[in-house]
Each structure stands twice: as C-alpha cells, then as structure tokens.
Amino acid sequence: MSNDLAPFESIRFEDRAGAESRLAAILDGTSDLLSESLAAAFAEAADASRVLVRLERFLDSAGAPDATLNAMADSPDLARMACSIFDHSLFLTDILCKHPEYLDWLWNETDLNHPLEKNALLIEVRALVAEADSVTQSHAVLRRIHRREILRIGVRDVYCYASVPSVTEDLSNLADVMAEAALDIASEAMRARYGSPRVVAQNGETSEATFVVLGMGKLGGRELNFSSDIDLIFVFSDDGETTGGTSKPIHNTEFFHRLGEQLIKALADQTAEGQVFRVDMRLRPYGRMASLATSLNGCLNYYEMQGRPWERQALIKVRPIAGDLALGERLIELTRPFVFPKYFDDSTLEDIRETKRMAEAQTAEKGQTENEVKLGRGGIRDIEFTVQMLQLLNGGRQPKLRSTNTLDAIEILGEEGLLTAFEALTLSRNYVFLRQVEHRLQIEGSQQRHALPTDPHDLDDFGRRLGYQSGDAFMVGYRDRSVETRRILDRFFDTKGSGDLWVTELLNPNAESEHGLDKLQGLGFV
C-alpha cells in the first residue's frame, strides 16, 4: 500500500483491491492532506464502498474536480459534509451531481445551523419568478429552488445533525413558500383570463373575494417529512362573479376551483425539472368528488351538518399557509365548536377509536405491525393518536391544548397534568426518535417509505447510518421505545368521553348551560 493510501488501511471496503485502485486515481498528484481528510470522512460512513462510488460520480460531474479536491484537502469538514451526503442519500447525491456548484454554495453561502427564514426565501423565489417569460418557466423556477433547498435541509439533517423540530420547521417553511409562489403564478394567469372575483354586499358595494390555502396534517403542524404529500384545503370568502378578462366572467366558485387546479399543477406536475410536492386534497369538505375550493359558508355548513368524527381530528392540525391568512384564521375560529366541543360524547370518541382500529388491522394484514414506523404498534401514529385524543377530550375547556404541533402539544399536556411528567418525556423522546428514523428511510431515495428494512444486510446498513453498531442494536432500541409508546396509548385508549356531564352542567345554577340547552333542543325540548 502506498503512503497516500495508508490512512485508509483500517477502513472496510467490499472490494479492497478495487477500492485502492480507484482511490489511487483520485489522490494522484494531490497532497497528503487530502488522503487524511477523505480517510477521516470514510471512517465515519456506514458504507465506505458506497461513498467511494458516489464520490467518483460527483468528481466526474464537477467542472473543476481538482479545485474541489484541493478544497477538501484544506477543509476536512468539507470532505466530511460531502461524504455524509454520499453515504446517506442517493437522492441528494443526484442533486449534487446535477449541480456540482451547490457544494461550494452549501459550504460558503448557507447557514446550516438554523432553518431558513421564510420571508427571505419567498422574496428570492418571487424575484426569480418575475424574470420568467411564461407559466412553464415559472414552474421550472419553483422546481429548481425546491431541489436546491431540499439538498440544504438534507445536509442539515445528515451532516449537521440538526434537531428534528428544526428540520421539520425548515421543510414546512419551504412548503409554505412554494404554495404562496404557486398561488401567485396561478392568480396572475387566472386574473388575466377571467378578471378579479367580486362580491356584492347588500348595500350594493362591491369588494374582492379572497382565497386561502390551508395546510393540514404534518404541514399544518409545521412538522413535514422529506417525502411528504402536502394535505391542502382551498377556501374562498364569498360567492359572486368575476369581472371578466380575455374570457367572459365566471362564477367565483368556478374561478376558485380553476385557480386551485392551476396551483396544484404548479406544485405537483412531473416535468423535466421534476416535481415540487405531491398534493392531496382528500381532506376537503365533501370529499374528492366536490369542487376543489369551498366558500367559507359552505365549509361551515358542511362541518355543522355533515362533519364526521375523524374530521375533528384532522382539523386539529389546520393552518393557513398562503393567500388570505386572515380568512383562514376566521375559518379556524368559527369551526372551533366542532373541533373542540366543550364536552365530548362517548359515541364520537368510539368512532375515532374505531378508525384507529381499522388502520391497525390494515397494517397487520400487511405483516408490518412490528416494523412500520408510522402505522405499526408503538409507532408515530400511536403518539399522534394519544395526543390528539387528549386534545379533543379537553381542548373545548382548555384552549391552550389546541396546538397544531405534536411536540408542543405533548409539552402542554404534561404541564396541565393530562400526561404525567414521565409520559410526556417518553412520548416527546420517542416521537423525535421515530421521526428521525422516518427521515432516514425517506431521504435515501426520496420515497414515501415507512417500513424498516427486513434484509439483515440492509438493516445493518440502516442502523449504522443512525449511529448504531448494527441492525440488531438498532432494533433493540426501536422495540423498547415501541413498547413504551404503546403502553401509554393503551392507558388512554379506553378513556370515556364526557357522557352525560351536560346534565350536571344544566342543573348547576353557577355553570354556563349553553351546551346543556343545546342538548335539550336536540332532544326536542325548546
């Protein structure tokens, strides 16, 4: 072994002779400092052979590989950062190989210690969109910025070991900005064609109808994944008609439905530049067969007359992310009695529990109960279900429990004594652990993946990427946490609702009896 390769002597390669030959080619003519920098970076990798293959690919794509290698020789941490990307993610490697200049951008121009400030990114995106000559080019801008930012956030995760809340906040900020920019693009095109949507008040005065994009699920909770769909609801303020543009006027309902279609196209269409986010609209009022956009009054009527128990759960995590944010906040405020009733009846609670049982049965049918990070026993959904059930049961009387964010809600539930201090600490710790596992599953290939590897070799590799000695060592910790989480859920799973507490309220002269009076009216008494 040459002196250049001596630092690699203790590093395990699947094909040592082949690896040494390829390393010799990379190191030829470089300083000893590069050999030491790369060897230190390879030593930290879960799979040094994989890192070497991807490093060669990156150097082949770089316009000036010698400059890159010299920079790695001078900065061992730069070599560590690059090799962390190659070790953890083919998806991030693909981005870096397509845009080799991003390595210098990451190293010299970005703050990898903190989430990017949302308004700063929105200003940049809007400036670049303004330079585009067409809607198609505008969509390409969104895809290029999204790809670059996913690389930055991924590096914060796999190299900087940023906290899970910091990473999910960064991803959620990115989604917010992309939704706002997509709405800008769609609005400009729609207004040119149909004019502005108007509403006529009873006194004859006209004003403009507004539109809000609401984020649900993990986006609503500011806890987005690397490969999440984004769950959206579109709401507009008032019925009316547009003023007309290059085409004749249309009703506001049709205008905002088409606006929603264009917004989704901007985000979700697969083009030569890829995709921004997959968009899921199934949580909207009236479901997938309804218009994409619903008026404020239409939403309120739906939840009052047809809202189902699982929709209460879904609306815990609703958040306005683009457009008329005040309209979104108004909807949230007006639906609070539906989401957080003052007292929660047993039948509604049982309906929510039954939905959970059905999901668990489907996971069991697939044989994934013990290795599905999201839906498996003791997984992410168990934590979310525990938290949301306690929020639903108590949020009507304790407004501070209405947080959209899971970790924040756990902390508040502990402070209010609805979880013991030990339970709150356990759920928070396990939620962070499971979300980190989920990120590592998804960041490798940018796939919506939640099942742990079953092949022993793949499991070992996965465990090492999370800092464990082996797959078996990882699974011991994973199973222990799953048992802890499930034990806490089981304690609350059979909790009773408020049952007939409304009667006690009605008979108490010192209590507010609004809920009891509503119950009497529902039973036929006036």
pLDDT in tens, 355-406: 788 878 887 877 777 889 999 999 999 999 999 999 998 999 999 999 999 9
Tokens of 441: 């599953």
End-to-end CA distance of the chain: 94
Contacts of 364 (CB under 8 A, 6+ apart): none
- Cα–Cα distances (Å) from 317 to 273, 312, 347, 376, in that order, read 31, 10, 22, 22
* Reported pTM: 0.90
What order do you get walking across the sheet with 197-200 strand by strand? 206-208, 197-200, 241-242
pLDDT tens per residue across span 223-245? 999 988 999 999 999 999 999 99
In angstroms, the CA 123 to CA 121 distance is 5
Q: Which of 473, 374, 482 is nearest to 430 (CA)?
A: 482
Residue 389 · residue 495 · CB < 8 Å: yes
Query: What 8-state DSSP symbol labels residue 236?
Result: E
Please tell me whether residue 177 adopts helix, strand or coil conformation.
helix
Number of residues assigned to the chain: 526
205 Cβ contact list (under 8 Å, min separation 6): none
- Contact indicator for 166, 222 with CB cutoff of 8 Å: no
Give me the tens of pLDDT residue by residue for the chain, a chain 526 residues long. Answer: 456 899 999 999 999 999 999 999 999 988 889 999 999 999 999 999 999 999 999 999 998 899 999 999 999 999 999 999 999 999 999 999 999 999 999 999 999 999 999 999 999 999 999 999 999 999 999 999 999 999 999 999 999 999 999 999 999 999 999 999 999 999 999 999 999 999 988 787 889 999 999 999 999 999 999 988 999 999 999 999 999 999 999 999 999 999 999 999 999 999 999 999 999 999 999 988 899 999 999 999 999 999 988 899 999 999 999 999 999 999 999 999 999 988 777 777 777 778 788 878 887 877 777 889 999 999 999 999 999 999 998 999 999 999 999 999 999 999 999 999 999 999 999 999 999 999 999 999 888 888 999 999 999 999 999 999 999 999 999 999 999 999 999 888 766 554 444 433 443 444 444 544 554 454 343 4
d(CA 46, CA 117): 32
Whose tokens are 């509503």? That residue is 518
Q: Give me the DSSP letters along 100-169.
A: THHHHHHHHH--TTSPPPHHHHHHHHHHHHHT-SSHHHHHHHHHHHHHHHHHHHHHHHHTS---HHHHHH
DSSP 385: H
User: Which is nearest to 167 in space by CA: 182, 180, 152, 178?
Assistant: 152
**Residue type for 121, please?**
L
Question: For residue 83, what are the contacts with CB-CB under 8 A and spacing of at least 6?
Answer: 38, 41, 42, 44, 45, 51, 55
Checking 353-359 for CB contacts under 8 A at 24+ apart, the result is: 353/493, 355/309, 355/310, 356/381, 356/385
What residues contact residue 508 under an 8 Å CB cut-off, 6+ apart? none
Q: Hey, what long-range contacts does 421-427 have (CB within 8 A, 24 or more apart)? A: 423/488, 426/484, 426/485, 426/488, 427/383, 427/386, 427/387, 427/485, 427/488
What are the distances in angstroms from CA 363 to CA 106, 293, 352, 358, 442? 40, 33, 17, 9, 19
| Maximum distance among all Cα pairs of the chain, rounded to whole angstroms | 94
Extract long-range pairs of 201-204: CB within 8 Å, 24+ residues apart: none
CA dist., res. 401 & res. 390, Å (int): 9
β-pair type (319-323, 211-216): antiparallel
Q: Give the angle subtended at the CA of 385 by the CAs of 427 and 379, to the nearest 5°.
A: 60
Q: CB pairs under 8 A, 24+ apart, for 504-510? A: 505/343
Here the tokens at position 30 are 């470089």
Select from 181, 383, 360 the least CA-distant residue to 263: 181
Give the β-pairing of 293-295 and 230-236: parallel
Phi (first) and psi of residue 474, to 5 degrees = -60, -45
